[in-house]
Structure 1
């Protein structure tokens, strides 16, 4: 049976009843999902999109915050028009676990509406602000029809340790079925320099790029086959 890493760090079946966040898919196929969070700025997102286009990476997943989408509709539309998957990154960038369910629902709904108004996409994947959650938060988000997406490989690009450090971290940690965390916010000042090296390095290792949804769908298919 294909399995996923759950919030507890233990293996769980895809259809597990306990609330869980998705970190990676257990697969022998060399596929990975490049994911980018965006919640601030306009200087980095477009160069990231330019690079993905130049490098012919046609599969990636972007998690957008509601306020950013409203402030930068042109870039959000470009992400959609380029065929990339769009997920929800909440409204205010605050830890969900510190707030009641009603507040969480309000925040997610605000972001969902903003993304839909700009791109026409009704989001069903969510990466919580700061990656913060607990079982109650996941249960609340699941009840709204959302799948909570975390990451197995954190590029730490937001710490700006240098393009080479970002690249090496990704290439030494990546595994088949990985979800890789990066940022296309202006706070990630070195991702534009690191990204071409990450892409070429992953390809040299034999990896292909898929969206998060395609990664999850593959797990379902494998589960049925096995």
Structure 2
């Protein structure tokens, strides 16, 4: 025996409404959970750069400490690494003019990491401006003629920092590969984290005293990059060679 299902016009309309509502709800939940709309990737306004198209960039944050920066510089020199970018806090730079001079002499690029290593996402605009001003003043006194790059001290920031940095002519630079060296997971873990790097990536490392294993892991990192034919290039070259990728930083 056959069955015939019949829907009148009113019931069909109700069913279609229920189906449409269910589909819309499912789509909305998918967008909320899986689709990330990059807030900082529009054509207008300042951007936070986190990767490019060519080579890889070794970037080091130094916020504090007296012991770890020098061994890292020693390693870079020994392995004849000509290109690296150091993001320095102004307060650290003031206390270590000899190391700043060494960074400049080696031809490495320098960016600012604020002055007092504050979390920019938790302070007012005027405090951010003061912190950047203090850092730029300190750098000028140390003979750093031109500063083009800035990085939020703790890595946390919002659109306010992008706009303020832009007012000072600074490009905000984040990273696409995090070594997690500051957690001191062991040199092998640090190398494994960096091994994810591919062409165009900006690698985050630290030369502050909290990162106790970076200098030991660095030769292995550099060897691995060379083995994979990933050229270590200046940050300025990466940014100028192509349109860098930009995205919301979470």
Fold similarity call, TM over 0.5: yes
Q: TM-score per shorter chain, which class?
A: 0.7 to 0.9
Q: Offset at 1:142? A: 1.0
Q: How far has the Cα of 1:120 moved from its partner?
A: 2.6
Displacement after TM superposition at 1:174 (Å):
0.5
> SS of the counterpart of 1:69?
helix
If you compute each CA radius of gyration, which structure gives the higher value, 1 or 2? Answer: 2
TM-score, with structure 1 as normaliser: 0.88
Indicate the residue corresponding to 1:46 in structure 2.
70
Corresponding position of 2:225: 202
Residue 208 (structure 2) aligned to one of 185, 190, 193: 185
Residue 76 of structure 1 corresponds to which residue in structure 2?
100
Deviations 1:98-157 (A, max 9, x none): 222211111001111111211333312001111111112211111221110000000000
CA contact (8 A) 1:86 1:121 kept: no
Q: Retained in 2: the 8 A contact 1:160–1:188?
A: yes
1:98 and 2:135 correspond? no
Report if the CA contact (8 A) 1:76-1:119 is conserved.
no
Give 1:165-176 correspondences, 5 Å limit. Answer: 165-171=189-195, 173-176=196-199
Match of 1:109 in 2: 133
Instruction: Go from structure 1 to structure 2 and tell me whether the alpha carbon gap of 1:118 and 1:8 turns closer, same or farther (over 3 Å shift).
Output: farther
- SS of 2:142's equivalent in the other structure is helix
Task: Go from structure 1 to structure 2 and tell me whether the alpha carbon gap of 1:151 and 1:80 turns closer, same or farther (over 3 Å shift).
Answer: same
Q: TM-score, normalised by structure 2?
A: 0.79
* 2:198–2:230 Cα contact (<8 Å) kept: no
Is the CA contact (8 Å cut-off) linking 2:181 and 2:205 kept in structure 1? yes
One of 7, 16, 21 as aligned partner of 2:48: 21
The alignment partner of 2:51 has SS state of: coil
Q: Give how far 1:73 is off.
A: 0.6
Between the aligned partners of 1:8 and 1:53, the Cα distance in structure 2 is: 41
The gaps in structure 2 that reach 5 residues or longer are 1-35, 245-250
Partners in 1 of 2:243 and 2:161 — Cα distance?
Answer: 24
Alignment-derived partner of residue 166 in structure 2: 142
User: What displacement does 1:12 show?
Assistant: 3.9
In 1, Cα distance between equivalents of 2:44 and 2:235? 21
